[in-house]
Amino acid sequence: MDQDQISFGPFRFDLGDSKLSFQGAPISLGSRALDILRVLALAKGNVVSKGRLLDEVWPGLVVEENNIQVHISALRKELDKRTDGESFIVTVPGRGYRLVGLERLPETDRSQMRDPQGLAIPGASIAVLPFQNMSGDPEQEYFADGIVEDIITGLSRIKWLFVIARNSSFFHKGKTVDQKQIGHDLGARYLVEGSVRKAGNRVRITAQLIDAQTGGHLWAERYDRLLGDIFSVQDEITMSVVGAIEPNLRKVEIERVKRKRPDNLDAYDLVLRALPFVRTGMVQGANAAIPLLRQALELEPEYAWARALLAQCFHFRFSRGGLGEADRAASTQYARAASAAGSDDATTLAIAAMVIWFDGHDAATAFELFDRALAVSNSNVVALSNSAFVLAWMGNSETAIERAQRAIKLSPFDTSNSYLALAVAHFHSKNYENSRDAAERAVEGNPAFSVPRALLSAALVRLNRKQEAIAEARRLIDLDPTFTTRNWSVTVGMVPEVFVPFANALHDAGIAPK
């Protein structure tokens, strides 16, 4: 079968020209019906919601849902009459439609998997273009190409990201082509491009993330390294680029979804819309995120990332909302379900691991999941920062500090739990100045989150800055009136020699134990 075509039953659909045929004979259908068929085909048998069809087939237009049914009926009529009534378009009640009997697209032809606007399905799509060799040495071409291939492999481990295969992304190598055209040709919403310049025993590598639709630069970085071991340098650069791209791209995707109509969101968009609420770390944010995440699971019941985020939300409600047993049971249940469904998703595994440690007090399972997450992607910022936070509360300060610092280096503006981990680890090591500095950075990153205030207050007490500690403790109680050291110990107090010094410091700042 031609790579530009897919088959389902006796039908063949040309992805390039949006033409449908039956046993070689063309089938005449309206453009909207063919656009719907294209979206269903590119979903590879997954359910496509009505909202998604409206957004992709009628972009920017306000259209009634019954328009979908009109064109679905036309499609079914043309398909069914040629197969004695056998149906290939299935209605999934309450969720949408799916195309069955679809032959699998070749893995090498991901460039063909795009929606009517040239954007890959599902979620965010990215292509890593060949890096320009600026060394004047043709023999260095392999080094530049090797970095690109490793970046493609690293990005492919990010489950919410659709990565264009190497064969397709290298198609334009050596050509001068407009970035928007490349994005359209490859079906990529985002592009990564860069250059390599080698001089003597040093190498300078630049990388930048580009919005293919606008040509705007979203992120850029320069790396200067000694060449020593060329393969070690290649690995280090790859880890740095992949680690930085994921959080930057997620922020851009969240902003994109904010601009979409609320009634026109698929499961991926719903998760992105929930993320800012989840990141507050507080009960109010959890309550706002839970309905969005549950709606995402109604559309995609096996959505591991949605399950992991729900686990986080119920953890927030448990730990900062009264220690309700139902919330604790829900958090651990969703976390275990997420780890089962997302076994190759580093972010999902890392979130599930932390919740299982906090609420399930199952350290063995938590660290097994952290190890699996870092095996999938050793540059995943969530896996590094979450594991650092747990390691700090376990008293393993050295490893906690090393992982937190790696996470901050990879993504200085998306540190998640990294500064919290540093604050705990340095406090446990009696390095109170560093603990205070890290806690202050955590407060700056999320001023409405209560935990950084607790860590800061404790560090200030040990620095004999009691009035400042008392003021910080009051801000803590303003954010979370239910906070007591006894309540806090339920989640993070597994190792008394780590937790008790924090509790004693907070008692000195006026926080009651009960």
Q: Are 45 and 89 in contact (CB under 8 A)?
A: no
Q: How do residues 481-501 score in pLDDT, each as one tens digit?
A: 989 999 999 999 999 999 999
Helix, strand or coil, per DSSP, at residue 381:
helix
Quote the pLDDT of residue 336.
95
Comparing 423 with 115, the larger pLDDT belongs to 423
Quote the pLDDT of residue 264.
55
Give, for 10, the enclosing helix (H) or strand (E): none
Q: How do residues 122-174 score in pLDDT, each as one tens digit?
A: 457 888 888 888 877 776 777 788 888 888 878 877 777 778 767 677 776 77
Does domain 5-99 fall under CATH 1.10.10.10? My reply is yes
pLDDT at 478 over 90: yes
Quote the pLDDT of residue 311.
97
Cα separations in angstroms, 498 against 396, 433, 456: 10, 17, 16
Comparing 92 with 133, the larger pLDDT belongs to 133
pLDDT at 16 over 70: no
Q: How do residues 35-53 score in pLDDT, each as one tens digit?
A: 888 888 877 777 788 888 8
Block residue for tokens 């190409």: 145
pLDDT at 104 over 50: no
Question: So where are the chain's domains?
Answer: 5-99, 107-257, 261-375, 379-514
Comparing 86 with 425, the larger pLDDT belongs to 425
pLDDT at 285 over 70: yes
Q: Are 45 and 100 in contact (CB under 8 A)?
A: yes
pLDDT at 56 over 90: no
- In the structure encoding, which two tokens stand for residue 215, read together? 């040509």
Q: Are 226 and 237 in contact (CB under 8 A)?
A: no
With a CB cutoff of 8 Å and minimum separation 6, the contacts of 171 are 111, 185, 186
Residue 165: closest CA among 179, 180, 151: 151
pLDDT at 115 over 50: no
d(Cα 254, Cα 258) in Å, to the nearest integer? 6
Report the length, in residues, of the chain: 514
Lowest mean pLDDT among 105-114, 276-285, 391-400, 408-417: 105-114
Which of 63-77, 111-125, 175-189, 340-354 has the highest average model confidence (pLDDT)?
Answer: 340-354
Helix, strand or coil, per DSSP, at residue 460:
helix
3-state helix, strand, coil in the chain (%, to 5): 55, 15, 30
CATH number of the structural domain 261-375: 1.25.40.10
Task: Return the CATH superfamily for domain 107-257.
Answer: ABC-type transport auxiliary lipoprotein component (3.40.50.10610)
Average pLDDT of span 58-78: 80
Helix, strand or coil, per DSSP, at residue 375:
helix
Average pLDDT of span 180-209: 83
Comparing 300 with 500, the larger pLDDT belongs to 500
With a CB cutoff of 8 Å and minimum separation 6, the contacts of 199 are 135
pLDDT at 119 over 50: no
φ, ψ at 15 (rounded to 5°): -70, -35
Residue 128: beta bridge partners? 192
Quote the pLDDT of residue 33.
85
What CATH fold (topology level) applies to the domain 379-514?
1.25.40
Average pLDDT of span 341-364: 92
Block residue for tokens 């090591």: 429
Lowest mean pLDDT among 86-100, 178-192, 194-208, 375-389: 86-100
The fraction of the chain above a pLDDT of 90, given in percent, is 37
Give, for 278, the enclosing helix (H) or strand (E): helix 267-278
Q: How do residues 394-437 score in pLDDT, each as one tens digit?
A: 999 999 999 999 888 877 766 679 999 999 999 999 999 999 99
Residue 265 binned pLDDT confidence (cut-offs 50, 70, 90): low
Quote the pLDDT of residue 84.
60
Domains 261-375 and 379-514 share a fold: yes
CA angle, residues 38, 52, 64, in degrees to nearest 5: 105
What does pTM read for this prediction?
Answer: 0.66
Q: What's the mean per-residue pLDDT of the chain?
A: 83
Helix, strand or coil, per DSSP, at residue 385:
helix
Q: Are 149 and 166 in contact (CB under 8 A)?
A: yes
Residue 239: closest CA among 387, 398, 406, 382: 406
Q: What does the buried/exposed string (b/e) look like for 417-445 if buried means 16 or more CB atoms within 10 Å of the residue's CB?
A: bbbbbbbbbbbbbebbebbbbbbbbbbeb
The fraction of the chain above a pLDDT of 70, given in percent, is 88
Q: How do residues 198-237 score in pLDDT, each as one tens digit?
A: 777 888 888 898 888 788 888 888 888 887 766 677 777 8
Which of 170-179, 191-200, 246-255, 353-362 has the highest average model confidence (pLDDT)?
Answer: 353-362
Q: What does the buried/exposed string (b/e) look like for 326-343 if buried means 16 or more CB atoms within 10 Å of the residue's CB?
A: ebbebbbebbbbbbebbe
Quote the pLDDT of residue 312.
96
pLDDT at 118 over 50: no
